Amino acid sequence: MAKVGKKYAEAAKLIEAGKFYEPVEAVELVKKTATAKFDETVEISFNLNVDPKYADQQVRGAVVLPHGTGKTKRVLVFAKGDKIKEAEDAGADFVGSEELVAKIQGGWSDFDVAVATPDMMGQVGRLGKILGPKGLMPNPKVGTVTMDVARAVNEIKAGKIEYRTDKAGIIACAIGKASFDDAKLLDNYRTIVDTIIKAKPAAAKGQYIKSVTLSSTMGPGVPLNVFKLTTVTKEQ
């Protein structure tokens, strides 16, 4: 068994073995167990009863969290003509066409999300082996291949996150920072949970969500009661 740090061990004592927590309690615990000197990210992990090797059981998409993630993303837009100014006016950090493709081929990747207009995908496609493994390839399924670049940039800057199952059927994504107040974290939590539930593939059989865990960057996981995932109310 791997040795854990003293702070982690102390934090883990706050979580009752074998207990599955309600969302309000889980958020409170995650904030208590985030004891690092930096503002830790709060992450939610879903273990889904799907087999992602089959196309009809993949769960993938994007959603705008009402309070963002606490991190401002650097957005790159592949575009030409009038779309360049549209992207710049919307607040894109990097905008261009062939020159950006060449820069990335040269090893540069100092951005968090890439957006492309459909007419640029012929050139952007050449970057598949570079951007694909990093999860940076524009994709129409998550709204990053679009002619409406202003909307795409605005949504990403406002807190849009992408989610997708890995090979084991796990989805993990940030829902904020430990410094967020409870209500904001619960709002973001509710949004991603509702989104994942609605994204259930028709081919998924049996209990769709096997387990859900909330954690901070350096803290232990807090298991949630999967049968009461949608019981968080505005009043709570």
pLDDT of residue 21: 92
Contacts (Cβ under 8 Å, ≥6 apart) of 138: 78, 114, 115, 116, 121, 124, 144, 145
23 touches 189 (CB < 8 A) = yes
User: How sure is the predictor about 3, in pLDDT bands with cuts at 50, 70 and 90?
Assistant: low
Contacts (Cβ under 8 Å, ≥6 apart) of 175: 42, 43, 44, 65, 69, 185, 188, 189, 192
The count of other CB atoms within 10 Å of the CB of residue 217 is 15
Give 126-172 pLDDT, tens digit per residue.
Answer: 999 999 999 899 999 889 999 999 999 999 998 899 999 999 999 99
> What pTM did the predictor assign?
0.80
129's enclosing H/E stretch is helix 128-131
Single-letter code of the amino acid located at 196:
I
Give 46-73 pLDDT, tens digit per residue.
Answer: 999 999 999 999 999 999 999 999 988 9
Angle at 155 between CA 150 and CA 157, to 5 degrees: 95
How many residues make up the chain in this entry?
236
Residue 221 pLDDT more than 80?
yes
127's enclosing H/E stretch is none
Query: Which tokens sit at 34?
Result: 């985030």
DSSP labels, 154-169: HHHHHTEEEEE--TTS
Question: In CATH, what is the architecture of 9-68+160-224?
Answer: 2-Layer Sandwich (3.30)
Average pLDDT, the chain: 91
Query: Which tokens sit at 233?
Result: 């109310």
Q: Residue 167: which of 42, 44, 47 has the closest Cα?
A: 47
Task: Give domain limits for the chain.
Answer: 9-68+160-224, 75-158
Among 2.60.120.200, 3.60.20.10, 3.30.565.10, 3.40.50.790, what is the CATH number of 75-158?
Answer: 3.40.50.790
- Could you say which DSSP state residue 72 is in? P
d(CA 197, CA 118): 30
Look at phi and psi of residue 203 and say left if phi exceeds 0, alpha if psi is from -120 to 50, else beta: alpha
